[in-house]
Chains A and B, each alone.
Chain A
Amino acid sequence: MRVSTAERNANYVILAAFAVFAIWPIAGILLAGLQPEGDAPGGLANLAQAWDIGRFGSYLRTSVMVSAFVVPVSALLSILAGFALGTMRFRGADPIFYLMLVGIMMPAEAVVVPLFFDLRAVGLTDTFWAIALPQVAQSVAFGTFWMRAAFRAQPRSLVEAARLDGASTGRVLWLILVPVARPAIVTLLVLTFMWTWNEFLIPLVMVPTNEALRTAPLGLGFFSGQYTQGTALLAAGATIVALPVVVVYLFLQRHFIAGMLEGAVKD
């Protein structure tokens, strides 16, 4: 559209101002994490120092384990369920779909309380499974919804032709539908990774005493409550916690943005 040079320049100023506003708190943490102060030698050595003092090595290991379980498992379950709900007709398919929709909106706060006491009754609290399985459940709700939409968007002739050729249901899914749905699957993987990595409430509730199972965000939460000798190491710890998702975001940002916006719009 034709607009005056003055308006265009004003736009650049507004753009820059808003970008600075958005990035400023995050950049502030990054910079503060590199300052010398007290225990903190300054520079990248701060990260190492926070790693030791704040025990971020252990926290990161738990987070990596949880993500390495939750992301592939929930993606696999979502692909299977989305395939059935998106391409097949069977009794109960609609009720199942609507029940899973409930899971997308349902706040974790509502289920985490009964879940904690039930898992405690069977001796599962303070274990890896107490952190991982509830998150698989949450991700499967969204993932099924997401993959169902992705499979439904593919031309039906694709499936029908393969069936006429005598392909089994499994072959139709893995050799025909999944390759075409790859972008949607990548989006699902990065979103699930982000949600799992950043999750705070579930690990907070589910591992009340087992320090070895604290995830990175939870560890940072405790560290920020206990470590009060300045902000440099705290900021360095925050940088360590944020970095993995931010790095993935910088490479696959289209998937993040599309997923978070379309996830709410689809269907």
Chain B
Amino acid sequence: MGRTARPAGPPGEPRRVGYLYVLPGFVVYALFALYPLLKAVYLSLYAWDGLTLGTWVGLANYTEVLTDERLRAAFGHALVLMVFFALLPLGIGLVLASILHRARVRGLSFFRTVVFLPQVVAMVVIAVAWRRIYAPDGTINQVLSAVGLESWTRGWLGEYVFALPAVGLVGTWFESGLVTVLLLAGMGRISRDLYEAARLDGAGPVREFLAVTLPSVRGEIAVALTLTVIAALKTFDLIYLTTGGGPGHQTTVPSYEVYRQAFELGRVGLACAIGVCLTIVIFAISLVITRVGDRAAD
């Protein structure tokens, strides 16, 4: 760490005063985020009810995460939610964005404002809104009755088969706007020449989409998937406020199980093990998506 200035090498000059600037933020972060994460790993090796002394159980909590039917189901439900939170919005977003990208339409910025709105509304409010829609006397059933399909009406969030897709569709609604806006921004950066070239080659809309648009927005697709997959894995509020994991355990997810095991059942060690697994899954998925996205971009 000599005083000789390295040419052009970021970031800047060597300066000890840097510690002083980093310290306050890092201390708060370390105390209230990093340390608890390590503590979670530690607690996950114990059976502890939060009150009395814990007992060391080694990896037993992790074995339970992998073998307990309800907990395994929770991770399975998270996978299903990924389809609704990530894949469906990606499909919708790709179709919408490429349609809108082909033709310069007016009112695009107003459209952006509107479809992005769900992202800024508190999840509690979204849960209240969708509970009204799914309720036995809610909007969907009213519409079904009005068109003579009364036999189809049901309490959508209370039925074994429909509860998870119903929650999932809230996610599709929630994420589609975000993905569309993200992809539109990416498509806006594609050079028009590429399209002219494709048209001279006689490409139709579909070929044009596959040959020009899709490869150009790979980076955006990776970002969209990272954001939405993580959102699917972190769905706590929505489950807590709409179904409470039910009926049975049809809609429970890992983040909800963390809360339930720790604060309702007093199984703190197990809750921490679930939390650690969730963290590992999130890190792994974002790493894989980023890697694949990077390679695709090369």
Contact = CB atoms under 8 A, between A and B. Distances in A.
Interface in A173-209: 194, 197-198, 200-201, 204-205, 208
Contacts of A116: 262-263
B162 interface: no
Interface residue tally of chain A, by bracket? 35 or more
Contacts of B14: 88-90
B25 interface: yes
Contact of B128 (A134, A136, A234): A234
A242 B282 CA distance: 28
A32 interface: yes
Interface string A80-109: 110111111111110010011011011111
Among B112, B114, B233, B240, max chain A CB count under 10 A is at B114
A85 B23 CA distance: 11
A224 to B, nearest CB: 6
A244 to B, nearest CB: 10
Interface string B17-59: 1111110111011111110110110110000001000000000
A242 B18 contact: no
A134 B37 CA distance: 12
A132 to B, nearest CB: 10
A49 to B, nearest CB: 16
A146 to B, nearest CB: 12
Interface in A45-79: 77-78
Contacts of A32: 132
A44 interface: no
A90 B103 contact: no
A164 interface: no
Chain A contact residues: helix, strand, loop or mixed: helix
A11 to B, nearest CB: 5
A15 B119 CA distance: 18
Nearest to B277: A110
Contact of B32 (A137, A159, A194): A137
Contact of A105 (B22, B28, B230, B241): B230
Given A110-B279, A234-B128, A90 B123 contact: no
Contacts of A92: 19
Contacts of A140: 25, 28-29
Nearest to A258: B185
A150 B241 CA distance: 37
Contacts of B131: 224
Contacts of A133: 28, 31-32
Contact of A265 (B104, B126, B195, B223): B223
A246 B120 contact: yes
Contact of B258 (A22, A100, A110, A204): A110
A87 B12 contact: yes
A28 B22 contact: no
B286 A105 contact: yes
A7 B102 contact: yes
A22 B110 CA distance: 13
B22 A7 contact: no
Contacts of A90: 14-16, 18-19
A25 B133 contact: yes
B35 to A, nearest CB: 8
A1 B195 contact: yes
Nearest to B263: A205
Given A102-B34, A137-B28, A242-B125, A117 B268 contact: yes
A35 to B, nearest CB: 12
Contacts of A238: 124-125, 128-129
A66 to B, nearest CB: 13
B118 A107 contact: no
B102 A105 contact: no
Contacts of A212: none
A201 B129 contact: no
Interface of B: 1, 10-22, 24-26, 28-34, 36-37, 39-40, 42-43, 50, 96, 99-100, 102-105, 107, 111-133, 139, 173, 176-178, 180-182, 185, 192, 195, 219, 223, 226-227, 230, 233-234, 236-237, 240-241, 254-255, 258-259, 262-263, 268, 271-272, 275-276, 278-279, 282-283, 286
Question: 4 tightest CB-CB pairs across the interface, nearest first?
Answer: A110-B275, A77-B25, A137-B32, A84-B21
12 contacts: A15-B100, A25-B130, A90-B15, A103-B34, A110-B275, A113-B272, A114-B36, A114-B39, A201-B236, A216-B122, A260-B119, A264-B223
Given A14-B96, A136-B28, A256-B120, 5 more contacts: A11-B100, A18-B115, A29-B128, A90-B16, A245-B122
